[in-house]
Structure 1
């Protein structure tokens, strides 16, 4: 893949998946999710805490953003850095973004020690990733076009030429279309639209 094509792409998981690791009676249930924001992460964590309410630990890690600038590792009562960090390490080693992995532990009565815990959480997280598919996702932005009906042909030609996806459209005397635009094409398309008289473009942010 060329550097140009990598500008607005990142690796993530295709769907939800699960993993499992057992050691000395303890069970480590791993759950991997593609996520887009911290609200989704909170929702996933809440669901797991309700479903596995009798588990001793719900340890997790996540990374958000193509630049991996937002991340967190949580040990949820396990010894410091024995659970969240090994999970986070698996996300990073696969170069994944916008991913949450939660490992739910049922204690089996025998302590595993810090080294044993690190191995268990790492292996469970790795299994959840292995049971998924790593895909290349493309960053998009949403833009809103405001224009008069007389400009319809020019606008629709541009949409067709760039194969843009229409999210919403309202056609009256004053028309409005919301489009999804691949991030690396945004500047080029914005310039093209700016050349059209009577057409205004507004960036709505990430989609």
Structure 2
């Protein structure tokens, strides 16, 4: 298995909004695998809100945060894009883009007020988009003889795996999704309960979201 490290990102594209002193703020956030995707997301918001006073943004691309960009889009320097970037960094998320749109309501907020407003815009956007941890995972193709299937099923109930599929032909073939950190212990257990009479093949390594209700 190759070395893969977990990282935090967003589950989905989402938005939320609020009003401060008659100014309307709309926070958007989305997962983006590349800078091109982040820029495309930014452009989609700019197009949707081309009549907005400001469309400020911040994005981080790369599991090691190799690309970090932000913009105040006409707001006083350091009052919008940078506070938004600080929210992303504080949440520890990467491969994501956040845009906060403002429709000016006629009341000046001052530098401190702007920082708080754009910080809040990023916070509500990330909350709506749901921060998740992407864990290195392994997908295994497995096969056992029919007489062993009951033992395997019983073992799987207590193992940290997801049974993705099963097929009954001349033998029982099934596909398991396992966290990379659990893979060896799971395979050792299945080998033990089948007395070594199980065939396993690593089909794929990828990043997956394991929710709290997942094993």
TM range (shorter): 0.5 to 0.7
> SS of the residue aligned with 2:169?
coil
Q: Deviations over 1:145-177 (max 9, x none)?
A: 232544544543442230522223333236543
**Equivalent residues in 2 for 1:41-80 (5 A)?**
45=42, 47-63=44-60, 69=65, 72-75=68-71, 77-78=73-74
- What is the TM-score of this pair, normalised by structure 1? 0.62
Q: Which residue of 1 aligns with 2:16?
A: 18
In structure 1, runs of 5+ residues without a counterpart are 1-6
Q: Which residue of 2 aligns with 1:139?
A: 135
Paired residues of 2:138 and 2:180 also in contact (CA < 8 A): no
- What is the TM-score of this pair, normalised by structure 2? 0.61
Find the aligned partners of 1:155 and 1:44 in 2 and give their Cα distance: 46
Q: Which residue of 2 aligns with 1:182?
A: 179
Which of 99, 104, 107 is matched with 2:101 structurally? 104
Structure 2 residue 164 is matched with structure 1 residue 199: no
Q: Which residue of 2 aligns with 1:3?
A: none
Find the aligned partners of 1:128 and 1:42 in 2 and give their Cα distance: 17
Distance 1:199 1:40, change over 3 A: farther
> SS of the residue aligned with 1:145?
strand
Find the aligned partners of 2:190 and 2:38 in 1 and give their Cα distance: 37
Structure 2 residue 161 is matched with structure 1 residue 164: yes
The number of equivalent residue pairs is 197
Once the 2 structures are TM-superposed, how far is the Cα of residue 56 of structure 1 from its aligned partner? 4.7
